Amino acid sequence: MPRELKRTDRNQLILDDAISGGKIVLFYRFPETSERVAFQAAAYKRDGDTLIDSSDQAIIDSAIVVLTAIRDGDFTYDGKKISSDPQSEDYREDWKECVAETGADLLTVLGRVVFMGVTAKNATLKMVKGEEVPPFRKSSAA
């Protein structure tokens, strides 16, 4: 399937939400090249010879920038439905802030998909008791 390059703000990511038990749809636009560069710049900072990983915050911050809408009926605030559609009776002007307030898990997935090309289909984690994971080592320059 070819990749469409025309700009749209109606790309959608459908998520199985473990908290609500339902499906949540987030609408987003593809980031501009400058936004991808800004994400990379924000993800890792250097302080002398120390590399500081700020990628989690960079992912969330970048995701909220490209988030364009939420599906009506997927979210409530104080028990009242909220909408990102100005024509809806449930519209809240601060809908993005509401999502950002407690939906960092959703924004993290959106950001990883959009900015890092990550997919998480049927992912499982196997842990083995007693097995030690070796620490990362600095590679020596040849």
Q: Where in the sequence is the domain holding 101, given as residue range(s)? A: 11-116
Q: Is residue 133 a part of any domain in this protein?
A: no
Q: What is the mean pLDDT of residues 11-30?
A: 92
* SS3 of 17-86: CCCCCCEEEEEECCCCHHHHHHHHHHHEEEECCEEEECHHHHHHHHHHHHEEEECCCCCEECCEECECCC
Specify whether the CB–CB gap between 62 and 109 falls below 8 A: no
Identify which has the larger pLDDT, 127 or 105.
105
C-alpha neighbours within 13 Å on the C-beta side of residue 13 = 26
Reported as a pLDDT band with limits 50, 70 and 90, residue 34 is very high
Ramachandran category for residue 41: left, alpha or beta (phi over 0 → left; psi -120 to 50 → alpha): alpha
Average pLDDT of the chain, as a whole number = 86
Is residue 135 a part of any domain in this protein? Answer: no
Give the pTM. Answer: 0.78
How many domains are there within the chain?
A: 1
Distances (CA, A) of 49 to 45, 52, 81: 10, 10, 49
Q: Is residue 5 part of a domain?
A: no
Asked, for residue 16, whether it belongs to a domain, the answer is yes
Residue 121 falls inside a structural domain: no
pLDDT tens for each residue of 49-107: 999 999 999 999 999 999 999 999 999 999 999 999 999 999 999 999 999 999 999 99
As a whole number of angstroms, the distance between CA 81 and CA 4 comes to 33
| Inside any domain, residue 73 | yes
Which pLDDT score is estimated for 5? 76
Share of residues in the chain with pLDDT > 70 (%): 82
Note whether residue 86 is domain-resident: yes
Helix (H, G, I), strand (E, B) or coil at 13: strand
For residue 122, being part of any structural domain is answered with no
Note whether 138 and 49 are within 8 A (CB): no
Q: Average pLDDT for residues 115-139, to the nearest whole number?
A: 58
